[in-house]
Amino acid sequence: MPDDHSPAPRPKPADRSLGGRFWAFWSAALAANLSDGVAMIAMPWLASSLTSDPVLVAAVATAGRLPWLLLALPAGVLIDRLPRIPVMAGAGTVRLALWAALAAVVFSGAASVPLLVVFAFCFGALEVCYDTAAETVVASVVPRDRLERANGHLRTGALVVQEFGGRPVGGLLISLGLFAPFVLNAAALVVSVLALLRVRGVDTGGHAGTAGLGDATAAGHAGTAGPAPERRGLRGVGADLAEGVRAIREQPLLRLVAGIALFVNGCYATALSTQVLFVRDVLGLGPVGFGLLMAFAAVGGVVGGQSVARLRAALPHGTLPVACLAATGIVYCVIAALPVLPVVAVGYLLAGGLVLGYAVAMTSIRQRITPDRLLGRVNAAMRTVSWGVSALGMAAGGVMVSALTPLTGHEGALRAPYALIGAVGLAVAVFFGRRLARLVREYDV
């Protein structure tokens, strides 16, 4: 018999590891993100080499984002019906073929702005499928209490390879030839697809219309009424789309976040579409400097992404997203007022951490409160709002700069998008911040 006076055994420490399946998935994402990082430099620089018209440069960026507005919801239905890892592998395979084709076109001297717009739209359509599936798979790979850590590692890994690897390397490869970055893009995606094929044992199918374990509880948070009947084929697509949109419309927190994204992401995109011109004409940097500036900005993103889990535990529940929104607005107001290289570099550093911190926090919350069978469609619907509105914002950015140039001069017009981001970010924090914090405390329990 055990001694009644013997000390109780110590409880084993909780397992906080993310597991081998997550790291296999993370490796595949890392290779794909390297390709994306190169493209972030190569595509706008190729466009600016073909034309100096800000509207045409913005048109290429807009074409890449437009699929998020047009195709994300149908892609969400697809992702909730099919195994998600094969969807990612298929999208990656087609993307690498397109990058190889674009490299051949640029090498032959046949590139043009209209052709670049077509390529950008195709890349964007495949990105919709790949990224929505990837964001949905995470909730099947790690426990819900570790989502901040998992999403933080994914986002900061993406930043490291995109900003410290992809963008500087892309800038260097441009100096060797405009076609060279696109060859690297294709090679990186080969690695990504091969890594995805090694991911095993992940529940990667949402199976629209069939509820999984825990869906009844999560559905109450998501505003849905439990399992829906099984639907397959084209006849069920409309109902599946409506169910995903309804999950956001009926969930107060998701509905508010979607509304905030309409304002903030739309304004943020106005600067993204003309950023290459701001860096080149206002700051006086070349392609290598452009890449290095983005890499410096990523330092803040890495720190921000890795700090979310700790900050969530340390700060009053629900305040982290609000603080990120308010501080981002202040940073962009300063950039607009003082567009000199040291100020812009520090501003990008801070904004990188704040923007990524907000994204990781809100993505993790969404993954926790949404049933798995709906997660693909909810993610797609949220990205339709946040990324789809970016397509409109990018187009508006080019028009804004062109319209303001006669009034404020070229440099003054390129500063205007940054002032807009700052003003809107502060306004959203002031008018919606208290409600956002309250809803996070209420639903993310």
Q: Tell me the C-alpha distance between 42 and 34, whole Å.
A: 12
Kindly provide the b/e burial profile for residues 121-156, where b requires at least 16 CB atoms within 10 angstroms of the residue's own CB: bbbbbbbbbbbbbbbbbbbbbbeeebbbbbbbbbbb
Q: Tell me the C-alpha distance between 156 and 150, whole Å.
A: 10
- Each residue's pLDDT tens digit in the chain (445 positions)? 444 444 444 334 344 577 667 887 888 888 888 888 888 788 888 888 888 887 888 888 888 878 877 888 888 888 888 888 888 989 999 999 999 999 999 898 888 889 999 999 999 899 888 988 888 888 777 777 788 888 888 888 877 787 677 767 877 888 788 888 888 888 989 989 888 887 754 444 554 443 333 343 344 444 433 444 444 555 577 788 888 888 888 899 999 999 998 889 888 888 888 888 899 889 988 877 877 787 777 788 888 888 888 888 888 888 999 999 999 999 999 999 999 999 999 999 899 889 888 988 888 888 888 888 888 888 888 888 877 677 788 888 888 999 999 999 988 999 999 999 999 999 999 999 999 999 999 988 7
Query: Under a CB-based contact definition with an 8 Å cutoff, are residues 388 and 128 in contact?
Result: no
Cα-Cα-Cα-Cα dihedral sign, residues 36, 38, 40, 44: negative
Asked whether residue 233 is assigned to any structural domain, the reply reads no
Closest CA to 360 of 306, 319, 317, 322: 306
What residues make up the domain containing 296? 20-201+238-443
Task: Output the 3-class SS for 172-199.
Answer: HHHHHCCCHHHHHHHHHHHHHHHHHCCC
Distances (CA, A) of 6 to 1, 2, 101, 380: 11, 8, 72, 56
Asked whether residue 263 is assigned to any structural domain, the reply reads yes
In 143-256, the DSSP E strands lie at none
Asked whether residue 96 is assigned to any structural domain, the reply reads yes
Asked whether residue 225 is assigned to any structural domain, the reply reads no
Q: Tell me the C-alpha distance between 133 and 204, whole Å.
A: 9
Q: What is the total residue count of the chain?
A: 445
CATH of the domain at 387: 1.20.1250.20
Asked whether residue 217 is assigned to any structural domain, the reply reads no
Asked whether residue 265 is assigned to any structural domain, the reply reads yes
Asked whether residue 228 is assigned to any structural domain, the reply reads no
User: What pTM was estimated for this model as a whole?
Assistant: 0.69
Domain count, the chain: 1
Q: Cα 157 to chain center, whole Å?
A: 13
Asked whether residue 206 is assigned to any structural domain, the reply reads no
Distances (CA, A) of 218 to 75, 231, 410: 22, 21, 51
Query: Under a CB-based contact definition with an 8 Å cutoff, are residues 130 and 92 in contact?
Result: yes
